[in-house]
Amino acid sequence: MKTHRINRLIGYLFLAALLLACLFLIYSCGNSKAESEIQGRADVITIDAMKVFDMLSRSPVEFPHDKHTEHMKKIGLDCSACHLKLDNGYLSTKFLRIEDDDYDRVMNIYHDSCISCHKEQKLGPQICGDCHLESPIYYSTAKPVVMDKSLHYLHIKGDEDKCELCHHRYDSIQKKLVYVKGQESSCRDCHKDSDIENAVSYKQVSHWSCIKCHQSKEKDIPTTCAGCHSEKAQAEFEVVENPPRLQRNQPDFVLLSAGEDEITQSKLNSVPFSHVGHEGFNQTCRVCHHKTMKACKECHTLAGSEMSDGITLQQAMHEMDSDHSCVGCHETHKSDMECAGCHNLMEQNILSDHACKICHAGPAPERLAEVRSKYNSLDDFRLSPEEMKLSFADRDIPDTVTINVLENEYHPSVFPHRKIVMNLLEGIANNRIASHFHGHEDVVCQGCHHNSPIGQRPPLCESCHGEPFNEAEPHKPGLMGAYHQQCIGCHSAMNISEPSDCAACHKKK
C-alpha cells in the first residue's frame, strides 16, 4: 500500500515536471523576449513570406532593415550578401532567393541563414520567440516619397536632363522598352500595386531603380530606408521654389468636352480650362491624372467605361467627395479660413446655377471643332472689370445696419455693413480661385443674404426670418436665431476673436 502511494506521488511529480517543461518550451518558442516600449522605425519590413503558401503558422517578423545593413557594412558586406542578382541586373528584393517555389525551402532559408549569422556575429535573436513576437517591438513609420515638382526638378538636374533613365514604355513591335520624348508618363501608369504580366509592382520597380541609381552616385544621396522614408529625412529634402515647368507637350489652355465620338451627346457647353494655371497650384500631375497621363475623356466617357471603373465623365468632374474631381478639389478650398465664414453656413453639397455657368462658359459642343482655335486662355471668357462690378450704386450700400431685436433689454447692435462688404470684396480679389468662381461681385451678398437672387437688392433678414422658429421648418430659424447663427458662425469659422463676449455687441440698458 505504501509502495503504491509512493509510485503515485512519483507519477504526479513526473507529470508536473513534464507540464513545466512544456510551458517553458512554449514560452521559449512563443514569446521569450521581454517586451519593451514599441519603437517606430521607417525601415521596418514585415517578413510574412509564408503567406504565399497559405501556411502562416507564426506571427510575421518585423525586420529593421537599416539596422542590419549598417552592421553588414561594418563587417565588409553589401546588399548581395542577402539578395541574389536577377537576369535584368537588379537585385531580388526577396531574401536569398528569386522565387517562392517550395514551403520548406523558403522557411529553411530564413531559419538557417538568419540564425547562423546571428550566432556567428553573436548578435540578434537565436530562438523562435525572439523573432516571431506576439506583440512586435517595432512598427513602421515609413512615409511614401512623393515625386513633387521640386524633387522631380532636382532629379532632372542631377541626371543632366536624361529623362530616359526613368521614363520608358514598352514597344510591342520591337519587344523592348523605349523612350519617346514628349510622351513621358508616370511610373504608376504601367506599374500598379501588384505585378501585372511583364510589369512588376510600383513598389518593386521603384526600389530596383531608385536604390541602384542612388548607390551608383558619388554624391551624398540616401541609400537607406530611413534616408528616403523617414519624416525627419523628408523634412530635410531640398526644396526648389518655383521650379521650371515640366515639359511634356501639354497644352497651356484647353476646352474640356466629351470625346469626339460622344460630343454630339453632350448637353452642356465646353469648359475653358487653364492647364498651366492648375500646374502652378498642384505639386504633381497625379492630383488630376491619377491613373494615366491621358486626357480625362480618354478614360471617362459619358456612359462610363471599363478603363474608368464605370465612373462617367460627369462623375469624374463633379464628384464632391473625390480628391481628383474638379468640383471635389474646389469644394475643399471652401473650408479655408478666409472662405469658411460664408461657405460653412451655406447649404453643403449643392451647386448653384451660377456655378454651372462659371465653368461651362465655352462654346457649345457642336461648335467646338469650328471655333476651338480662336480661344487661347481663360481671359477670352472673363467678364470685363466693368461687367463684374456690383450692380448697386455705392450710395445704396448701407454704412451700418442697426439690429434691435433685443431692444427691450439691450441697446441696439450696430453692424458695420459697408466695412464687411469691402473686406470681403478685397479678400475675393486677392484669391485667384475665389475671384474666378465668384464671377460677378454681386455674389458677395450671398454670404449673408444666402437665398437672395444674384444681382437684385437683397431683402431685409426679417423678410424670411420674421416669424418665430417653427419645428415644421427646422432649417429656418427665427430672427434672433438667424442673426446669432450667422454672426457667431462666421466669426468662429474665420477665427475672429472680436467681439469676445455678448456684452461687446449687446450693451445692457
358 and 401 fall within a common domain:
no
Residues 17-46: pLDDT tens digits? 555 555 444 444 444 444 457 999 999 999
Residue 363 near residue 352, CB atoms below 8 Å: no
Residues 448-503: pLDDT tens digits? 888 888 777 888 888 889 888 888 888 889 998 999 999 999 999 999 888 878 88
Cis preceding-peptide flag for 499 (omega within 30 of 0): yes
400 assigned to some structural domain: yes
470 and 392 fall within a common domain:
yes
377 and 257 fall within a common domain:
yes
Q: What percent of the chain has pLDDT over 90?
A: 61
pLDDT at 388 (0 to 100): 86
223 and 307 fall within a common domain:
no
* Residue 174 confidence class, pLDDT cut points 50, 70, 90: very high
What does the mean pLDDT of the chain come to? 88
18 assigned to some structural domain: no
Residues 275-315: pLDDT tens digits? 999 999 999 999 999 888 899 999 999 999 998 999 999 99
Residue 473 near residue 451, CB atoms below 8 Å: no
19 assigned to some structural domain: no
360 and 409 fall within a common domain:
no
C-alpha 491 chain-centroid distance: 29
88 assigned to some structural domain: yes
- The H or E element that residue 111 is part of is helix 103-121
Q: What is the mean pLDDT of residues 439-446?
A: 88
Residues 78-122: pLDDT tens digits? 999 999 999 988 999 999 999 999 999 999 999 999 999 999 999
Q: What is the mean pLDDT of residues 168-178?
A: 92
Q: Which of 103, 119, 140 is the last residue of a domain?
A: 140
Least confident of 28-37, 70-79, 195-204, 226-235: 28-37
Q: What is the mean pLDDT of residues 228-243?
A: 96
Residue 453 phi/psi, 5-degree rounding, is -60, 140
Q: Which of 112, 140, 168 is the last residue of a domain?
A: 140
pLDDT at 3 (0 to 100): 52
Residue at grid coordinates 431685436: 405
245 assigned to some structural domain: no
334 and 367 fall within a common domain:
yes
Q: Which of 140, 175, 194 is the last residue of a domain?
A: 140
pTM over 0.85: no
| Residue 463 CB-density burial (10 A; 0-12 exposed, 13-18 middle, 19+ buried) | exposed
428 assigned to some structural domain: yes
pLDDT at 347 (0 to 100): 79
* Residue 316 confidence class, pLDDT cut points 50, 70, 90: very high
Q: Which domain holds residue 262?
A: 253-381
* Residue 164 confidence class, pLDDT cut points 50, 70, 90: very high
315 and 208 fall within a common domain:
no
Residues 389-408: pLDDT tens digits? 888 888 888 999 999 888 88
87 and 99 fall within a common domain:
yes
pLDDT at 35 (0 to 100): 43
pLDDT at 57 (0 to 100): 84
344 and 272 fall within a common domain:
yes
pLDDT at 2 (0 to 100): 47
Long-range contacts of 409-415 (CB under 8 A, 24+ apart): 409/508, 409/509, 410/506, 410/507, 410/508, 410/509, 411/506, 411/507, 411/508, 411/509, 413/505, 413/506
369 and 394 fall within a common domain:
no
pLDDT at 5 (0 to 100): 53
Q: What is the mean pLDDT of residues 62-72?
A: 96
In total, how many domains does the chain have? 4
392 and 497 fall within a common domain:
yes
CA dihedral for 437, 442, 444, 448, sign (positive or negative): negative
Does residue 338 carry a pLDDT above 80? yes
For residue 73, the domain's CATH number is: 3.90.10.10
Instruction: Give the Cα separation of 188 and 98 in Å (integer).
Output: 24
329 and 405 fall within a common domain:
no
211 assigned to some structural domain: yes
241 assigned to some structural domain: no
